[in-house]
Amino acid sequence: MFTPNRDTFSEITDIVLYRYNSVDSKIWALIRKTNSFRNLDSDSILVEASAVRSILLNNFRKEINKFQAIETAMIYKEATSTYFIWRMLEDMPNLKWIKIDYIRNAGYSRIVSVDEMKTIKFSIKIIRGTFRTFDYFPAQELPHVNMILLRSGILKDNKHYSVIKLQSMLRSLDIFLSEHNTSENATVIMKIIEVLEAYENDDPEVLVITDYDSDI
């Protein structure tokens, strides 16, 4: 799932490049020439987001500048993988890694029709992100936020962090609210849901980080 606005949650994403698309195959080949990736298997790698940014700037700057000059409504009619990857890098300032699957199946296609014109549908899946309580709640509210996270089982043993799948986290919050339905609890939980619900279908791992110093 790709959110069009600035996304400070996402840190690892998953995208697909296509062997029979000239731009995709060029990006894949350029990445494979660097030392900034890890092989997951023969057609799947994990690459540093900063390396992908450098590759785009060094090899596709003209195309990037072109898209920056086009009206938003017209971009999707001319967009290539370069545009979508660049927008991902721009809109996700905390992105650290990109998992890339390289599809060699000639029958695979991303072509869709938009206003009777053909373009590509570029899917971006969020694999992992970080939710920092202190980014969304003032210090005086953190004791109550921490209580909810502890009693719902999202945080354990007063640890400052926990890793949990997003759908499991949201279910835990729903259950807690159904059993402790107060306006104070609802306000906190609805704020957390508001931040994270856009990623629910991807069900990424969530690194939850909080601050107990504010509890004193």
Res 158: pLDDT: 75
The percent of the chain in helix, strand and coil, each rounded to the nearest 5, is 45, 25, 30
Res 1: pLDDT: 40
Residue numbers of the chain with a pLDDT score lower than 50: 1-4, 214-216
Res 75: pLDDT: 60
Res 5: pLDDT: 65
Nearest Cα residue to 131 out of 11, 3, 34, 29: 11
Q: pTM of this prediction?
A: 0.87
Cβ neighbours for 125, distance < 8 A, ≥ 6 positions apart:
1, 13, 14, 15, 202
Res 116: pLDDT: 63
